[in-house]
Structure 1
Amino acid sequence: MATSCAQTLALQSNSSGLNRFKEKLVAKLLSFYDEQSLIDVTFEVSNPTAVVPAHRLILAAASPYFENLFNGEQGNNPDIEMNDIDSDIFERLITFCYTGEALITVNNVGAMLKGALILQLDDVINSCVDCLMTNIKEHTLQAAYTLERETQCERLKQKLIEYEIKNFIEISRRVEFLSFDVEKLQRILESDNLNITREEDAYDAIKRWFNYDVPARQEQLPILIACLRLTQFDADFLWTHIQPLPGCELLALQPISWIREPAARTRVNMRFTEPRATCEKTFLALCHSEMNKNLVQYNKAEDKWQEYASLEIDYTYYCMILKDDNLIFIGGCKSGITSNIVRSLNIRNKTWENFPAMKQARCGLCVVALDDKIYAIGGLEDKKVLSSVERYTPSDGWESVSSLIVERYKARAVTLNNKIYIVGGKNTNGDLKLVECYNPGSNTWTSCADMTKCRDFPFVKVHKGHIYVLDTYSAKSRQSVERYDPQRNTWSKICCLNADWARIAGMSLDNKLWFIGRPKSDDWSSVSVYDEANDRWVKKCSFSNVNGYFRCIVPVALLSSK
């Protein structure tokens, strides 16, 4: 008989007649409930004491909890005690069994969720979790964490993880983050959608979590480090930051081999080799014209450059550095007067902020960031060539450190192996091929091997543990390129780059070295990638001309879509 009824309903499922029948049936059931007619079970609920009448068949159909209850030992009892749910919440949930609607508010959502979990009302559970997540704010997040621990609600746990993935930077700075268990943190870090703009953000969060309780978390640290996209770090970072961590030696060696030996990648067992979806990167350049200055970005999908922001900058010969979400403009010259001004442009929201001024006015300086510190090196103060160096930290502002051995301006500096290398430039004696290395641990500069030629305002890039250098301008038709090996303290010439000059140059992207240059007679910039195995430059594509003074690679997610 039951089978026959089910088949009849299936055949009529799309008929308007069946829909009318269902509406009438539900209306009649509600009237029975309101009038307490044909009641066959009564619940005695405490806090406060109340009596809630109902119909067994309706509750059993709505909830596996009631179905099991009524089929159990006390299933035939006309009166059943309920001690785990407050009477008001219980009555609301019984009403849901009849109407399919539950009145959930910010004030009662916790109690409603606990009651729905007991009564196994999945639709109410989902509605409670949605209500929690819709109204979650900084001051209510702690309450959500507490509720998840008390209820062990799997859907709430999953929604919180989705929230943590989406708001990872903010969450990782909260005190609650330090108490995350390793399984939870692993689920978050494994996500390809982790909302970070650079892989270092995830590494910094792991270190903060690890340092909170080092003895208890040493064995767990490699589990989390393995969740990082290790091939997105350069070899220098892997050697200095990952390899020294307990249990992480092999985790550092594998990506170093993957980076340095492309031909051997099929033999390297790496869990993650691609960047996260949120960490796709693009080119960003600052371009000058007589009228204004623009930030432009490369649109990979359309293979073209487009304006990102128009900037009002009324001074020149400043130096810029990308740090976190900010382009920091340091020093410069205005109306012939050297400046010590420091300003920061947040490239996500395109707003300016003033930083503390340097101790000394500088133009034509070079700037690098190392261990969250910014170094301003050399330059000119009016017509005086400087050897002085100063360092900025948010806590201490600008402070002087050891001066260069040889004063210079229009030089370039990079970081490698936790040290700073300054290359070329010029002083009153002319163009320089001198190279110096700064050790922040001992606060000393030492001389390195000279380049093979003098270079004024060169382009310099660290790639796979070496320093690559080429001139900004070249009088010849081919750019001279050389490479420094810090282990051997030697320079060697490599294949020349076929470009008259390169205003946007020397970027390491996708573990390859890219140079962008433009011949004097052409309006297009050519893009070349260095083939290390064959010591040759391979032309990849051309961009419409971008006269870029400053160039960098930034995560796409960092750039505003507005």
Structure 2
Amino acid sequence: MASKSTTNLSSLHSVGVLCNLDDLRKHENLCDVSLCVGGCQLSAHKVVLSACSPYFKAMFTQDMAEKNQSYVTFHCVNVDAMEMIIDFAYTGKLQVTASNVQSLVPAACLFQMHLIIDECCQFLESQLHVNNCIGIWRFAYDYGLIELTQVLFKFINQNFEEISKLDEIHDLPVKYLIKILSSDDLNVSSEESVFQILESWIMWDVEARKINLPRLLKCVRLSLLSATYLRRSSLLNSLISYNSLAWDIMHSSVQGELTLDQQHVRPRCAPKLLCAVGGKNGLFATLSSLEIYLPAKNEWKSMAALPQPRYECSAVVADRKLYVLGGIVCEPYKQHSNTVVVWDPDKNNWIKSVGMLKSRSSFASVVLKGEIYVLGGYDGESYLKHVEKFSPRKSTWERVTDMKQTRICFSAAALHDCIYAIGGYGPAHQDSVEMYNTTTMHWQMLKPMLNKRINFGVTVYQDSIYVMGGHSGTAHLRSMEKYDTEKEEWELCNSMRRPRTGIGTAVIDGKFYVVGGHSGHEYLNDVECYDPGDKTWERCSGMNSARCAFGLVAL
């Protein structure tokens, strides 16, 4: 009987072929090219080099002069790096070290040998430290190592406060400094830290660097700095007299007259934690507690309590501080309030801010271009369509164009210089939506939601507005719907795990967090998280206290 046996020997065969080819090279048998580098001649086979490198393949197979040459000279390649590349071509073996990586990367990039490039990148990433990250980043950036550059830049952003204390930051060419200081993700305690780096970098070589002052000032979020702080900058005040453009930028900032493209009002660094504050967890139980959620640890931590218990309040983040506005304050007696208190996360304390023009509860608030807008609500006597805004920089409130409809128990969102007032009650359950254009200062009605909702959550993500939960007037809701601002259409999304009203919602790292509320049967402390990528909900660690009608923000 005939039999057949098939065995895959490709791996053994490949190793054997490489060993034999390397042996031929070492004995200079059948070699057809010598690579001349740094006074040395390194023998090789064109076919082997071409099989490993697109650069050599093009050189030896296309109509290039080197195709028929036996000697090819390289002036810009390190001889040790060339030897390593040839060895790798014949053996597949490579040892990257701190002493050879800087010469190996340029050669590997030149010859387009991506396996070597990847190995070098992994080595450099493994060596990453605060003390060397700037130098490695510049090196990776110059050689177009995109993925490594992104990793390093993220590391620099996250550790900037520590890195900024090193002398190496002062040796940066201006193009690198501009890239760092322009980053939205720069992890700094305040914009003053960024401004101080600008000053110290200029001071390192004043005469040579003062010409860069206007470009660098545009990287700083001047609107986040007080006029008093800017006036105290003796260095810049002395330099701007020599530069009219720098003087214009600084003068406009001090006078509060920056144009929109100069304002840079968005604070640095994406939110890292949730803050849940106030609310109620019983018919007569009003809360003053503040707790924060750390997604990385999946845990809640109690912080300094509000000066007074309050519910049906609103909370926003401005200038990296938590603002809690209005609501019903229960001490010394129950009243609709216009008071505003501010929590400083660095000091874990509360201070009183300037009160709103109008007392209100069950209202909505948003932050746009660094200013806090409060909309609608109930003042104890009537439903409101009144809108006002607060400038943290000027510490002043001013009246803004009223909404078209009175609204309480509704939600608001800010997107693309516009404010959206959504749903609520006034005096019936609403599905209506209106939009305020901050440029034209006019409101216009938009397409209504698919469901009427009060006391629901809202988030903004990738040019869309998501609403979830709440109460329709007949039932507690667990549904979620999305408004596409370009298509001007609402569509249903995957529903939450359970119905809830009086909730808090926020976005961290592209995930929606829905917190607390009331299920119709009980006050809730549980948390759900939605991933818009895979469109799934999952449970997270619950708050220390159940709460409803409270403030929730990402900070």
Q: TM-score with structure 1 length normalisation?
A: 0.49
- Structure 1 or 2, whichever has the larger Rg, is 1
Q: TM-score with structure 2 length normalisation?
A: 0.50
Relative to its length, the structure with more strand (as a share) is 1
